[in-house]
Structure 1
């Protein structure tokens, strides 16, 4: 609605994820299926609202 129907949007996220998986596999850092990892978020801004927004946008667990 906002940008119209004739605009193409390219999302590089899928290719980036595949490349990351290849590199993790190559370096034997890929976790086995079913194992849980952890996410640590850091930001140079020490504002709590920025960290809360980062969690909302990036972590959907």
Structure 2
């Protein structure tokens, strides 16, 4: 079965996701990359994503 992607309107054969949406692979990948950038880039000052160890050190030094 194919359905239109709810973000870009192209036809996709992906199944309905957990939110009841039909999303193509490209839009799903774009959303995942945007989420990664928001979490790892903006949260830590817009720099490149940090390793887990770097995050731990950063959080320890900036604890309340």
TM-score of the two chains, using structure 1 as the length reference: 0.32
TM-score of the two chains, using structure 2 as the length reference: 0.31
